[in-house]
A = this chain, B = another copy of it.
């Protein structure tokens, strides 16, 4: 004898329709569907179009957030929303209009502006979510990771793999904003998250403002590994990738190209990936981070890839195209490229505050997830991919 294990309020709702490819609508089919509902079952044949499309059709949509608006709202939040234990951070996240009002920039990625007032601290905690900070303007905040104070300045990229203790303190008399990127949506849907609060305030010994963090002094020397490093936890041990190095690397690529030696991804398009110096791989297990420079007047070839990206304009201005959408963009603007949507960028020759006139784009994506699971595909337009 079978115990009935189903619930009267089954969430399953099935409707017999005469759509192409569906079974004939008959009383027997209706009865069968009622049986499915009762037993919490759903047939493949009513769902296959949604679940198994010919190529990815993202629920997320291409969207642009203006830095001006974002920063304005963050400033107002700075005035009226305190920072402390519980809320943890004064962070305001992009909510992709295709994702139902959740604070998800894409199905896997979180992107938020964080804002810290003069003298404020954001309390210490740790979580399994992999995270980073990127600074599009300003300076004055130090992030303390496992007791190591890391300065934050325009252009700096600060990765931080999951389960490391971290807090922020604003050592200056001015507020500061930056961008947080995390894999919160991915860990939310895959259900992997752990969280632990730490000290409410960092110690006086950590309330310092060094020019270089200890992690940089150990790890930011090109091609050199400290012998004192033993086995390392997942994620890069280097806690800051300073802008001066990124800038020089991008400039070097464009110079090599102009000398006839390649070095760029395509004409006028320089790019670097931030990597873990201990492995050469991505800085975080779930997030890839890159910096792109599109030279004045250059345009990138449209490219599609499985997985999603968030971009922030770091410098210059130009035009970007995501799927069917095209926007003029300028410093600080953020936009998302959903899975398998085509993306290209063009640098605008005039009306730029940058001498070089290049368009600098900061990008993060969920590519490491797709590569680790052998689900990565890329197609550059004009090729058969």
Contacts and interface: CB of A to CB of B under 8 A. Distances in A.
A20 to B, nearest CB: 7
A52 B185 CA distance: 10
B277 A223 contact: yes
Contact of A95 (B11, B73, B241): B11
Contact of A249 (B10, B29, B221): B221
A41 B94 contact: yes
Given A12-B95, A192-B339, A224-B274, 6 more contacts: A2-B68, A21-B85, A39-B70, A55-B193, A220-B223, A285-B374
Copy number in the complex reads: 4
Interface in A60-103: 60, 63-66, 68-70, 73, 76-77, 79-82, 85-97, 99-103
A224 B272 CA distance: 6
Interface stretch (A134-142, A166-174, A256-264, A347-355): A256-264
A68 B39 CA distance: 11
Contacts of A384: none
Main secondary structure of the interface of A (DSSP, over half): loop
Contacts of A80: 23, 26, 28-29, 32
A190 B248 CA distance: 35
Contact of A5 (B64, B192, B274): B64
Interface residues of A, number: 152
Interface string A351-385: 00000000000000010111011110100000000
A92 B36 contact: yes
Closest 6 CB pairs of A and B: A21-B86, A45-B87, A42-B103, A11-B101, A191-B339, A234-B374
Interface in A131-163: 162
Interface in A185-213: 186-196
Contacts of A81: 23, 29, 32, 43, 45
Contact of A76 (B12, B35, B54, B278): B35
A95 B41 contact: yes
Nearest to A72: B35
Contacts of A54: 194-196
A103 B44 contact: yes
A319 interface: no
15 contacts: A21-B86, A41-B73, A44-B90, A60-B191, A107-B189, A128-B375, A190-B307, A190-B366, A192-B307, A217-B255, A218-B253, A221-B245, A222-B222, A224-B246, A275-B277
A272 B227 contact: yes
A293 B60 CA distance: 44
A360 to B, nearest CB: 14
Interface string A218-242: 1111111111100000111010010
A322 interface: no
Contacts of A56: 191-194
Contact of A290 (B50, B63, B227): B227
Contacts of A187: 375
